[in-house]
Amino acid sequence: MVEIVPVAEDLAASYRECLDVVAREKRYLAQIEALPLERIQGFVCESVATDAVQFMAVEGRQVVGWADIFPSWAHAVSHCGSLGMGVLPAYRGQGIGRRLLQACIAKAQAKGITRIELEVRADNERAIGLYKSLGFVQEATKRHAMRFDGVYYDALQMSLLQSAA
């Protein structure tokens, strides 16, 4: 049974392993490997201390996916947050990404983030479909936004605006 839980310090090593697997696919993330464990531990500790919008999908104590929305730091754009997420290959297509996103969106909006932004590779149809099903809309296409092994890929910029009450 996969549970969606808030980020926790004791999940740092497993989170790094999950991040590394997804990064090494050279398809879904801009990075091609996870940062060293010490850096990830520091990042996770800061996320816990600041009550960041960050959730993990765990099976037992193994992280099988994550999603986070970090706010922009400058005052005029502090209502905006950037989404990042990933799910291990064996766990895709089971609704885990949707559950992670729903948890993040709810917490982000509760914390005053009214615009959630993301960038997704244009050929990642499954993720684009998920984002659209949750209300994200495409705003732009960035041509040659990513390059892996000498091959360029376009990326879509998408956003979700909190509905006016």
Give the active site residues.
119, 131
**What is the β-pairing status of strands 115-121 and 62-71?**
unpaired
Q: Are 91 and 57 contacting, i.e. CB atoms less than 8 angstroms apart? A: yes
Gap between the Cα atoms of 32 and 39, Å rounded: 16
Gap between the Cα atoms of 109 and 112, Å rounded: 5
Residues in the chain, overall count = 165
102 CB-contact burial (10 Å; exposed 0-12 / middle 13-18 / buried 19+): middle
Sheet holding 115-121, edge to edge: 2-6, 53-59, 62-71, 80-87, 115-121, 151-161, 137-148
